C-alpha cells in the first residue's frame, strides 16, 4: 500500500514537472557536459604525471600548457554549473508554485464540510511547510541526482577505456552500496510521513493559540496550552530524530563501501602497474583511475543523500496531493441568476451534517418578495444551518430550495450569493485599508458611495477618527479595531452593495445599545422592498418582522408574526417572556 501510494505521488510530481521538460532537458545536457569536462581533467593530470616519470625531471614546457588547460576547463565547468543551478532553481520553484496554486485553488473549491471538519493549522501546514519540504527535495534532486547519474555512467565508461580489469573491482562493490541505500530509504518514507503529520499537529496548536490568545489569557490557560504544545513538540522531535537517524545512516555506510572500492582499486591497480605485463597501466593512468574511482563513489554518496531527502519530500507531497485530490463541491450549474425579486421557497428540505445525527427534517416554507423573516430558537436548533443552506454553503440532502422559482442547485453559486448581503456575528476583514474592506462587494464604488454607506451604518464618525481615516491600514482580521467597529464596517459593506436579499445573523450583537437603535432604523430603511432573513436572540429586535419562524431541533414548530405567536402562548411566548 505504501509503495503504491509512493508511486502515485511520484507520478503526480513528474506530471507537474512535465510542463518544464525543455528546461529539464537543458539541465541534463549541461550536467552531461559538466561531468564530461570534469572527467577529462584527470586524464590531463595523468598525462602530466607520466611526463614527469618518463623524462626523469619536470618538463615545464610540456606540463604548463596542460595545467593551463585544466584551469580553463575548471572555469568553464564553474560557469556551466552556475547556469545549470539557475535552471534547476527555476524548475523547482515554478513546480512548487504551480502545486501551491493548485492546492489553494482546490481549497476554494472544497465544500465547507472539509474546512469545518479539518484543523485549520493542518491545512496551513500542507500549503506552506509541506510544499517547502517538497521544494527542498526537488532542488536537491535536480542539483545532484541528474549530475550524479551522469557522473556514474561517464566515469564507468572512462574507467573501461583505461583498464577493464580494475573496473570490474569497482562494479562488483557497486550493488552493495545501492542495496544499503535502498534498504534504508524504503523505511524512511513512513518515518518522514509521521514527521510531517506531527508538524501539522504542532502548526494547528500554534494557529489555534495565536488566533485565540485573548481567550487563553482570560482563562489563565497558558500553562495548559504550554503543556499541550510541549507534548506536540516532543512528538515532533522524536519523529524527526528517528527519521533523520535512519536517513543519516545512508551516507556513512555508502562512504564505507566507497572506501573499500578505493582501496581495492589502489591495490589491484598497483599490482597491475608493477607487473608490467599485458594490460598493464602507467602510474599516471593509475592516478587517473584512482581519481575516477573517487568521482565514481562520490555520486553514490550524493544520490543516497538525495534519496533520503526525496523520501521526506515525497511524504510531504503525498499530504499536499491528498488535499488536491479531495472531492470538490458538486459541479456548479451554468445558469446565471439575474437580480432576484426575493421569492424564496423551501420544500420538504432534509439536512444533516452527519448521517447519524438528523438535524432538519421535512422543512417547508414559502417566503414572498420583500418579506422580513426572523428566525429564532435556542442554541443549536438549526438557525445558522438554515442560513448555510440558503447561501448554498451546504447542499440539502433532500428537498428543494428555490429563489424566484429556480432551484438554487441549478444556478451558479456566484450569481446566487451575489443576490444576498450577509452580516454575521463573526466579522471578517482582510489586510488592507478601511476603504478596500468596505468596497469588497462593489470594487467599482466611488469614494462618495463609500462615505454615504458608512454614514448610513454609523461607521463614518469612528473612521474619521482613525489615523489615516479611510486609508488606515487594518491588520489581520481587524485586530486593531473593537468588535463593534468591525461589525459596523461589515454593515457598511452591505449598505454599499444594496443586494435584493439580506441575511443578518446577530448583526448588531457587538454594538452598543444607542448605536444599535440607530442601525436598526438604517436596517429598517434598507430592508424595505428586500427579502430579509434575521437571526436574533434578542427578540425585541424582531417584533416588526412579517414572519417569525420558531425553530427547535431543526424543525419549525411555530410561525406567524409577533402578535400571533404571543396569542398562541406556545414556545415563542415562553422565549419572549423569559427575556423581559
Report yes or no on 413 lying in a domain. yes
Task: Write down the residue that cell numbers 536517513 correspond to.
Answer: 247
| Residues 258/251, Cβ–Cβ less than 8 Å | no
Domain identity same for 507 and 572: yes
Please give the grid coordinates belonging to residue 497. 452593495
Cα 295 to chain centroid distance, Å, stands at 39
Q: How far is CA 324 from CA 3, 105, 327, 336, 394, in A?
A: 20, 9, 9, 27, 20
Q: 474 forms bridges with which residues in the sheet?
A: 432
Cα(454)–Cα(426) distance, rounded to whole angstroms? 19
Global confidence as pTM? 0.65
Domain identity same for 309 and 403: no
| Residues 538/579, Cβ–Cβ less than 8 Å | yes
Residue 129's pLDDT is what? 79
Residue 479's pLDDT is what? 66
Report yes or no on 244 lying in a domain. yes
Count CA atoms within 13 Å of residue 488 on its CB side: 24
Residue 181's pLDDT is what? 67
Domain identity same for 246 and 143: yes
Report yes or no on 251 lying in a domain. yes
Domain identity same for 362 and 390: yes
Written as one string, the DSSP assignment of 60-121 is HHHHHHHHHHHHHHHHHHHHHHHHHHHHHHHHHHHHHHHHHHHHHHHHHHS-HHHHHHS-HH
Q: Rounded to the nearest 10 degrees, what angle do helices 131-140 and 60-109 cross at?
A: 160
Residue 88's pLDDT is what? 86
Residue 311's pLDDT is what? 73
Domain identity same for 314 and 356: no
Residue 79's pLDDT is what? 94
Cα(417)–Cα(330) distance, rounded to whole angstroms? 16
Cα(366)–Cα(501) distance, rounded to whole angstroms? 15
Task: Write down the residue that cell numbers 580494475 correspond to.
Answer: 166
Report yes or no on 333 lying in a domain. no
| Residues 459/493, Cβ–Cβ less than 8 Å | no
Identify the CATH number of the domain in which residue 477 sits: 3.40.50.300
Domain identity same for 138 and 64: yes
Cα(430)–Cα(260) distance, rounded to whole angstroms? 62
Domain identity same for 456 and 552: yes
Residue 1's pLDDT is what? 54
Cα(206)–Cα(262) distance, rounded to whole angstroms? 50
Report yes or no on 336 lying in a domain. no
Cα(411)–Cα(174) distance, rounded to whole angstroms? 64
Cα 359 to chain centroid distance, Å, stands at 33
Report yes or no on 334 lying in a domain. no
Sign of CA dihedral 215, 217, 218, 221: positive
Identify the CATH number of the domain in which residue 318 sits: 1.20.1560.10
Q: What is the pLDDT of residues 80-101, one digit of tens each?
A: 989 988 988 888 888 888 888 8
DSSP H or E segment with residue 347: strand 344-351
Domain identity same for 136 and 275: yes
Domain count, the chain: 2
| Residues 548/572, Cβ–Cβ less than 8 Å | yes
Domain identity same for 212 and 279: yes
Domain identity same for 312 and 351: no
Taking 50 as the pLDDT cut, the residues of the chain under it are: 55, 278
Domain identity same for 443 and 308: no
Cα(304)–Cα(294) distance, rounded to whole angstroms? 16
Residue 83's pLDDT is what? 92
Written as one string, the DSSP assignment of 484-544 is HHHHHHHHHHHHHH--SEEEEESTTTTS-HHHHHHHHHHHHHHHTTSEEEEE-S-GGGGTT
Domain identity same for 158 and 244: yes
Strand, coil or helix: 548: strand
Last residue of a domain, one of 324, 353, 372: 324
Domain that holds residue 196: 2-324
Q: 558 forms bridges with which residues in the sheet?
A: 550
Report yes or no on 348 lying in a domain. yes
Report yes or no on 504 lying in a domain. yes
Task: Write down the residue that cell numbers 450569493 correspond to.
Answer: 417
Amino acid at each position: 500500500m505504501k509503495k503504491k501510494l509512493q508511486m502515485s505521488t511520484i507520478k503526480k510530481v513528474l506530471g507537474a514537472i512535465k510542463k518544464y521538460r525543455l528546461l529539464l532537458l537543458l539541465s541534463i545536457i549541461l550536467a552531461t557536459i559538466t561531468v564530461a569536462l570534469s572527467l577529462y581533467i584527470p586524464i590531463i593530470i595523468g598525462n602530466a604525471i607520466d611526463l614527469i616519470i618518463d623524462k626523469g625531471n619536470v618538463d615545464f614546457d610540456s606540463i604548463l600548457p596542460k595545467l593551463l588547460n585544466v584551469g580553463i576547463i575548471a572555469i568553464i565547468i564553474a560557469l556551466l554549473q552556475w547556469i545549470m543551478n539557475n535552471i534547476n532553481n527555476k524548475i523547482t520553484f515554478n513546480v512548487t508554485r504551480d502545486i501551491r496554486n493548485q492546492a489553494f485553488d482546490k481549497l476554494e473549491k472544497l465544500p465547507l464540510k472539509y474546512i469545518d471538519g479539518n484543523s485549520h493549522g493542518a491545512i496551513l501546514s500542507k500549503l506552506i511547510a509541506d510544499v517547502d519540504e517538497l521544494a527542498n527535495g526537488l532542488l536537491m534532486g535536480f542539483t545532484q541526482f541528474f549530475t550524479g547519474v551522469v557522473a556514474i555512467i561517464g566515469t564507468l565508461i572512462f574507467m573501461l577505456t583505461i583498464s577493464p580489469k580494475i573496473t570490474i573491482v569497482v562494479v562488483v562493490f557497486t550493488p552493495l552500496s545501492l542495496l544499503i541505500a535502498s534498504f534504508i530509504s524504503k523505511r524512511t518514507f513512513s518515518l518522514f510521513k509521521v514527521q510531517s503529520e506531527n508538524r501539522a499537529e504542532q502548526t494547528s496548536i500554534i494557529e489555534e493559540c495565536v488566533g485565540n490568545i485573548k481567550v487563553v489569557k482570560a482563562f489563565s490557560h497558558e500553562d495548559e496550552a504550554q503543556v499541550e504544545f510541549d507534548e506536540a513538540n516532543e512528538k515532533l522531535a522524536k519523529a524527526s530524530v528517528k527519521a533523520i537517524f535512519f536517513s543519516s545512516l545512508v551516507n556513512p555506510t555508502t562512504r564505507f563501501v566507497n572506501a573499500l572500492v578505493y582501496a581495492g582499486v589502489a591495490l589491484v591497480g598497483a599490482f597491475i602497474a608493477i607487473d608490467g605485463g599485458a594490460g598493464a597501466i602507467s602510474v599516471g593512468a593509475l592516478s587517473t583511475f584512482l581519481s575516477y574511482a573517487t568521482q565514481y563513489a562520490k555520486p553514490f554518496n550524493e544520490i543516497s543523500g538525495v534519496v533520503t531527502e526525496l523520501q521526506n519530500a515525497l511524504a510531504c507531497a503525498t499530504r499536499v496531493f491528498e488535499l488536491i485530490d479531495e472531492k470538490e463541491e458538486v459541479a456548479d450549474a451554468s445558469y446565471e441568476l439575474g437580480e432576484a425579486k426575493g421569492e424564496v421557497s423551501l420544500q420538504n428540505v432534509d439536512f444533516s451534517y452527519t448521517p447519524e445525527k438528523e438535524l432538519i427534517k421535512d422543512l417547508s416554507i414559502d417566503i414572498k418578495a420583500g418579506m422580513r423573516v426572523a428566525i429564532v430558537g435556542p442554541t443549536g436548533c438549526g438557525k445558522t444551518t438554515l442560513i448555510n443552506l440558503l447561501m448554498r454553503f451546504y447542499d440539502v440532502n433532500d428537498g428543494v430550495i428555490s429563489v424566484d422559482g429556480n432551484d438554487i442547485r441549478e444556478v451558479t453559486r456566484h450569481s446566487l450569493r451575489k443576490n444576498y448581503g450577509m452580516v454575521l456575528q463573526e466579522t471578517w476583514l482582510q489586510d488592507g485599508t478601511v476603504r478596500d474592506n468596505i468596497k469588497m462587494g462593489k470594487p467599482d464604488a466611488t469614494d462618495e458611495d463609500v462615505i454615504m454607506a458608512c454614514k448610513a451604518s454609523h461607521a463614518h464618525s469612528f473612521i474619521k477618527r482613525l489615523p489615516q481615516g479611510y486609508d488606515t491600514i487594518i491588520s489581520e482580521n481587524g485586530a486593531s479595531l473593537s468588535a463593534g467597529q468591525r461589525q459596523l464596517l461589515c454593515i457598511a459593506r452591505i449598505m454599499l452593495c444594496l443586494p435584493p436579499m439580506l441575511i443578518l445573523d446577530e448583526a448588531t450583537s457587538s454594538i452598543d445599545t444607542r448605536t444599535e437603535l440607530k442601525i436598526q432604523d438604517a436596517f429598517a430603511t434598507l430592508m424595505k422592498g428586500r427579502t430579509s432573513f434575521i437571526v436574533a436572540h434578542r427578540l425585541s429586535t424582531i417584533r416588526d418582522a412579517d414572519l417569525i419562524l420558531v425553530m427547535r431541533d431543526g424543525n419549525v414548530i411555530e410561525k406567524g408574526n409577533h402578535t400571533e405567536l404571543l396569542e398562541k402562548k406556545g414556545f415563542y411566548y415562553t422565549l419572549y417572556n423569559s427575556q423581559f
